Amino acid sequence: MNIFDTLSNHGVVPVIAIDDAADAIPLADALIAGGLPLAEITFRTDAASAIIKAITNERPDMIVGAGTVLTEAQADAALAAGSQFALSPGIDAAVLAHARKIGLPFAPGVMTPSELQIALRHGCEMVKFFPAMPAGGPAMLKNISAPYAHTGIGFNPTGGVTPDNLADWLSLPQVRAVGGTWIATRDDIAAKNWDKISQNARAAVARVQDIRGA
């Protein structure tokens, strides 16, 4: 089982922008307590590498990936910090080639069939459909992905995904896991609302199980 299969088992990946490395372990513990021991820590803040390193060192059972990886240097930093996978909002052939060279599982962002074909050429097993709702929602993804179903490539819709439309996304067989930006928001982390984050994670796990009939 590869890392993207593991993400698929959970159905939701918390997408997190976190500013203070001191919040790394309380955040991890809140997600673990909620039954969702994984996170995409985005490189939207200067603390991203330190946070990934802290979680992977102190909570080794937590699955941690890096998000918003835009450059080869960020891919290197993500891997050095302990990231098990990386994602990007867009697609860059040079970054894809570098990620493959260093052995970092990488899911680039796509919106079009042409971008999807670039990802396939680079051996990607999963792509981020971003921004998911503004790009046309589940109906658009269903139509874009249909000609490529035989390739087995999976999708991680992110951007506008909510508990209310979660079933629409997970009903598509090609969707492995959605990006859950609502589970641990930047504001809740800054306010140290750990109980709320645990509750959000627990509710997301229950909702996925309900949708999948688990």
Tens digits of per-residue pLDDT, 4-19?
A: 999 999 999 999 999 9
CB proximity list for 30: less than 8 A, separation 6 or greater: 184, 194, 195, 197, 198, 201
Measured between alpha carbons, how far is 134 from 43 in angstroms, rounded to an integer?
A: 22
Structural tokens at position 158: 């992110």
81-91 average pLDDT score: 98
For residue 66, what are the CA distances in angstroms to 49, 50, 127, 152, 191?
8, 11, 14, 23, 23
| Interval 108-146: pLDDT, tens | 999 999 999 999 999 999 999 999 999 999 999 999 999
| Interval 16-75: pLDDT, tens | 999 999 999 999 999 999 999 999 999 999 999 999 999 999 999 999 999 999 999 999
Listing DSSP states for the chain in one string gives --HHHHHHHH-EEEEE----GGGHHHHHHHHHHTT--EEEEETTSTTHHHHHHHHHHH-TTSEEEEES--SHHHHHHHHHHT-S-EE-SS--HHHHHHHHHHT--EE-EESSHHHHHHHHHTT-SEEEETTTTTTTHHHHHHHHHGGGGGGT-EEEE-SS--TTTHHHHHTSTTB--EEETTSS-HHHHHTT-HHHHHHHHHHHHHHHHHHHT-
pTM: 0.96
pLDDT at 1 (0 to 100)? 72
Active site residue 40: yes
74-79 average pLDDT score: 98
Mean pLDDT of the chain: 97
Active site residue 128: yes
Is 12 in contact with 184 (CB distance < 8 Å)?
no
Q: How many Cβ atoms from other residues are within 10 Å of residue 58's Cβ?
A: 12
In the chain, pLDDT over 90 holds for what percent of residues?
Answer: 99
Is 36 in contact with 14 (CB distance < 8 Å)?
yes
169-176 average pLDDT score: 97
Catalytic residue among 101, 128, 142, 192: 128
What domains can be seen in the chain, in order of their start residue?
3-209 (3.20.20.70)
Catalytic residue among 40, 58, 101, 196: 40
pLDDT at 214 (0 to 100)? 64
pLDDT at 159 (0 to 100)? 97
